[in-house]
Amino acid sequence: MKKYEGVFMIVRSRAPVRISFAGGGTDFPYYFNSGKAGCVVCATINQFAWGTLATRRDQTINIESYDFLRKLRFSDLNEIAYNNDLDLIKAVVKNMNKTGRGMDIFLRSDIPPKSGLGSSASAFVALIGLFNHLKGEKRFTNYEIASLAYKLEREELGIGGGYQDQYATTFGGLNFIEFFPTHVCVNPLRIKEDHAKELEKNLVLAHLAERGISGDIVADQTKKYEQKDYSVVEAMDTIRDTAHEMKYALIRGDLEQFGRLLHEGWEQKKRFSPLITTKQINDIYELARKHGAIGGKITGAGGGGHFLFYCEPNKEQIVSEKLQEAGVKVIPFTFDTEGLVTWEIADKSDL
């Protein structure tokens, strides 16, 4: 307890990153506001953003990011301003700390930024969860947490992207998420436990390289869609249909079809923008396919980050070995089913 002088309470949180299977791109407003509902199939995994909030008896606000090796100190809430220095943490503090109460906030992530796994959304949600825990009976619902995370990341800070990340990390689990002009609907996929274990076993997650600025890719595909570029519009519609097909394949337990749909989705996604793939990414994909991967896809906007493969049964280890021989890092994981969780580690009897 010496680390936090004058502490009332210490709250911790964690929020998982997600792997996207199908439908990515249709969760953008330019798509689902055009008269076509968007949808994605995605799952969260056991790689997290971790947050800690310790309340203080004064108005001092200390924020620290382990990932960026940065610490900032403010005498009160009014001193906090956006300047591209830990703005992610600042945005949550400015919007959630309505009383101006002093606090120490710490954030770290298992997955680095620019991962393609929605790590920034998981950080936003973990931080919002800390403040939400303090609200007691007036806590936000999961839908309200995800909506606020989207508004802070996409609108207040202007970081490009769609809606799926915030909802996936907040709710957790394997979901079919639908996007409409007025609301989002998260539908948990009720698949048999044996099928879920088989799916998890046969998936390989590989870290290719740090990607560039995802906003460049998003801006390019947005422009093409709004200009009604036939190739992009057709590809997005096909990807939406693929997400529906994948949902039913998972419910049936047809995992071979799941793998084929991953491949089909990747082929369509590459039509969004020439920035999505590179020769290195294409070569790695062909290497994995040669040694047992049925299908795969980039897990985020593209250009780098993580690539997900679904392999023939008992070929996942061969695929992993070949990828590592080619200098690609393979990330072990299991599915997460909890989403955002928060807990206390200090007595609050003196609040």
Scan for tokens 């001092």, then name that residue: 60
pLDDT digits over 252-289, tens only? 999 999 999 999 999 988 888 788 888 999 999 999 99
User: Using an 8 Å Cβ cutoff, are 120 and 113 in contact?
Assistant: yes
Question: Looking at per-residue confidence, does 7 or 245 come out higher?
Answer: 245
Whether 237 is a known active-site residue: answer no
Scan for tokens 């996207």, then name that residue: 20
Residue 212 pLDDT greater than 80, yes or no = no
Greatest CA separation found in the chain? Answer: 63
Q: What is the mean pLDDT of residues 211-237?
A: 73
CA dist 285 to 217, 243, 260, 306, 338, Å?
20, 21, 14, 12, 31
Scan for tokens 């009160």, then name that residue: 76
pLDDT digits over 149-159, tens only? 999 999 999 98
Tokens of 234: 């057709």
Beta-bridge partner residues of 344: 11
pLDDT of 5 reads 47
Residue-by-residue DSSP string for 165-196? HHHHHHH-SEEEEEE-SS-EEEEE----HHHH
| R_g over Cα of the chain | 21
Question: Looking at per-residue confidence, does 154 or 223 come out higher?
Answer: 154
Scan for tokens 């606090």, then name that residue: 103
Confidence of residue 300 (pLDDT cuts 50, 70, 90): confident
Cα 163 from Cα 1, distance rounded (Å): 39
Please give the DSSP secondary-structure letter assigned to residue 138: G
Residue 313: which of 177, 168, 200, 152 has the closest Cα?
Answer: 200
What domains, with CATH codes, occur in the chain? 10-188+337-344 (3.30.230.10), 193-332 (3.30.70.890)
Mean pLDDT value across the chain: 91
Cα 189 from Cα 36, distance rounded (Å): 22
CA angle 128, 119, 338 (to 5 degrees): 65
Q: Identify the active-site residue in 87, 165, 194, 229.
A: 165
CA 85 vs. chain centroid, Å, equals: 21
pLDDT of 185 reads 98
Beta-bridge partner residues of 74: 61
Scan for tokens 């989403």, then name that residue: 339
User: Using an 8 Å Cβ cutoff, are 197 and 253 in contact?
Assistant: no
pLDDT of 288 reads 97
Question: Looking at per-residue confidence, does 170 or 114 come out higher?
Answer: 170
Q: Which residues contact 233 (CB under 8 A, 6 or more apart)?
A: 225
pLDDT of 349 reads 47
Q: At 136, give phi and psi (nearest 5°).
A: 60, -130
Q: What is the mean pLDDT of residues 291-297?
A: 97
pLDDT of 347 reads 58
Q: What is the mean pLDDT of residues 291-301?
A: 91
pLDDT of 110 reads 96
